[in-house]
Chains A and B, each alone.
Chain A
Amino acid sequence: MNRYTRRTAALEFVMIAVAIVFAFPVYVLVNLAIRAPGDTSSPISPTRHPTLANFTGAWQEGGLGGALLNSVVVTVVSVLIVLVVSSLAAYPLARSTAHWSRGTFLLIMLGLILPFQLAALPLYQTIRDLGLLGSVWSLVLFYAGLQVPFTTFLYVGFLRALPRDFEEAATIDGCGPVSAFRYIVLPMLRPITVTALVLNTVSVWNDFFTPLLYLSGSDQQTMPVAVAGFVGQFVSDWNLIFAALLISIIPVLAVYLALQRSIINGFTGGLKG
């Protein structure tokens, strides 16, 4: 059963063919991004005179540098906040069986079902009244709240399967709840923290709807909004647009390739936890 048979070879052939079909759009993406705008040959024939001019053009025209920085700041700060507040909240929610605890947990889980579209418009008004429209800090605040239900869900599920013995022993030895959390619970949460980190980072980094609403009309942008604005501005200049798309993809793919194992395990971590 574990040998490489003729059937395995046939399967290998089929799978590689499928992978080529999947990779085809990416080939066209790269192919057109390195093509001079005047070149009108077919999009699928390899570009004969590759150029990097589109990349420098896109970088300068699109304000992608600022957008990249904003995306990094928003993602790092909001994910950090979410991980801290959610793990902290999950600790009593997983351990206490009191009514308030169950009620609070269910209330937070309600957030898994509520689509952001429902909260988006009233929140828009609040943010406008506070004068925070167009500020990246409004995004940090949103993601910090928006990602709480899912992250808490992951932490509570994981914590419930962990034994209490260590915390109890620490408490008997005179350890307060904050130190017990910091030195006993938090280190044990490491595997699920990796999962939460990966999933939150990907969804915050790639989100488009929220910054589209709250940053529109300002000069502040995140990467997805900058890309959309770029397409609106250079409507059919696809070589330039494709260069901009590639610039936005490269940091993500670099991180992905460097950490592929932990990232893929992170995505499937909820299954085991």
Chain B
Amino acid sequence: MTSDRKKRLRGRTAPPWWFTVPALSLFAFVVLVPSARGVYYAFTDWDGLDPDFAVIGLRNFTELLGDDDARQAIWHTVLIAVAVTVLQNGVGLLLALGVNSMIKTRNFLRVLLFAPAMIAQIVTAYLWRNLLGPDGAVNSLLDGIGLGSWRQDWLGDPKLALWMIVLVVVWQYAGYSMVIFVAGLQSIPKEIYEAAAIDGSGPVRRFFSIVRPLLAPAITINLMLSIIGGIKLFDQVYALTGGGPGHATDTISTLIYKDAFTLGEFGYSIALAVVLTVIVAVASAAQYTGLARNERAAS
């Protein structure tokens, strides 16, 4: 077939544009239009009810940057996202290497370790709230193994509470990272690996020279998921600490919720949501460029 005829045929067979209309209208109604309105409200003093509100320029944002609670919440959000990303993927990768071996329980362990990722975050968070409580199972366990002096009110201590939230997220999603890493590992041809072993390279060398570069797509997906999940984190904080003690664990998401629905400061709350959006966008863009380069270098 000549390319000219092919082109004409393609014009005739191209699926019609109106196929996109249902998806586009739902998306516009639920996401696009409200988000655009949200950005507008961030520059007003809207309280969520009163139809009369004034455009106040950048005042919400200057107020936000001068507000200790907001600044701390931004810092907590970044800290949680980074800690979750490092730990969840570190643990997930180790689990993947362990499960992707000749051990007999590998299939059972894969199913078991992934199971927490299926459960609602709010449910696992309530479970852990009890486990980490003063009379909870974690303290009982420490007593049982002779480490009673380590007993803590894990969630009541402002210095520890944030890390407990990280722990709960890592517990729930390390298995998620694991299955993605396992899929990546299984796409590596065995021959390459065996050839390197025959040539005398040790397991560590084999990991960094063969596995890591070929694992790049799995790493990209895992980092993307954990960073964005960490930045948007809400359920665990809501259930574990409610942002407390004090404001020690408030994140941008919990502050948005509190400011809007208990304080009625919608404009200010949406300004926080805009900050959240900017952080997500910057993280995604940084990752996209950084990892795309990484993947190109690896291939």
| Residues in chain A within 8 A of chain B (CB atoms) | 1-4, 8, 11-12, 14-16, 18-19, 22-25, 28-29, 32, 42-44, 81, 84-86, 88-89, 91-93, 95-96, 100-101, 104, 107-108, 110-126, 141-142, 144-146, 148-149, 152, 164, 167-168, 171-172, 177, 180-181, 202, 205-206, 208-209, 213, 223-224, 227-228, 231, 238, 241-242, 245, 248-249, 252-253, 256-257, 260, 263-264, 267-268, 270-272
Contact = CB atoms under 8 A, between A and B. Distances in A.
B37 A122 contact: yes
Nearest to B12: A171
B15 A144 contact: no
The B contact surface, by secondary structure, is helix
17 contacts: A11-B103, A12-B105, A15-B99, A16-B109, A32-B130, A85-B26, A116-B31, A118-B273, A118-B276, A124-B48, A144-B30, A145-B28, A202-B118, A228-B238, A264-B111, A264-B114, A267-B114
B235 A145 contact: no
B114 A12 contact: no
Contact of B30 (A89, A123, A253): A123
A75 to B, nearest CB: 12
B15 A122 contact: no
B113 to A, nearest CB: 6
Contacts of A223: 120
A19 B109 contact: yes
Nearest to A255: B118
Contact of B144 (A44, A253, A272): A44
A253 B118 contact: yes
Contacts of B234: 208-209
B236 to A, nearest CB: 10
A29 B110 CA distance: 21
B16 interface: yes
B98 interface: yes
A208 B120 contact: yes
B123 interface: yes
Contacts, number: 277
Contacts of A271: 180, 183-184, 217-218, 221
B281 interface: yes
A101 B24 CA distance: 12
Best-surrounded residue of A1, A118, A148 (most CB of chain B within 10 A): A118
B39 A118 contact: yes
B160 interface: no
Interface of B: 9-10, 12-17, 19-20, 22-24, 26-35, 37-39, 41, 48, 95, 98-99, 101-105, 109-124, 126-128, 130-131, 135-137, 140-141, 143-144, 171, 175-176, 179-180, 182-184, 187, 194, 197, 217-218, 221, 231-232, 234-235, 238-239, 252-253, 256-257, 260-261, 266, 269-270, 273-274, 276-277, 280-281, 284
A-B pairs, top 8 by smallest CB distance, nearest first, are A145-B30, A89-B23, A119-B34, A268-B183, A206-B120, A145-B26, A85-B23, A122-B37
Given A28-B131, A115-B277, A117-B232, 12 more contacts: A11-B103, A23-B112, A101-B17, A117-B256, A121-B260, A121-B270, A126-B34, A145-B28, A253-B118, A264-B111, A267-B180, A272-B183
Given A8-B101, A206-B119, A271-B218, A115 B14 contact: no
A81 B26 CA distance: 10
B20 A208 contact: no
Given A85-B22, A89-B24, A122-B34, A115 B103 contact: no
Contacts of B136: 43
B19 to A, nearest CB: 5
Contacts of B135: 43
A15 B109 CA distance: 8
Given A11-B103, A118-B274, A121-B269, A141 B30 contact: yes
Given A144-B26, A268-B179, A42 B274 contact: no
B137 A43 contact: yes
B232 A146 contact: no
A18 B95 contact: yes
Nearest to A101: B17
B176 A270 contact: no
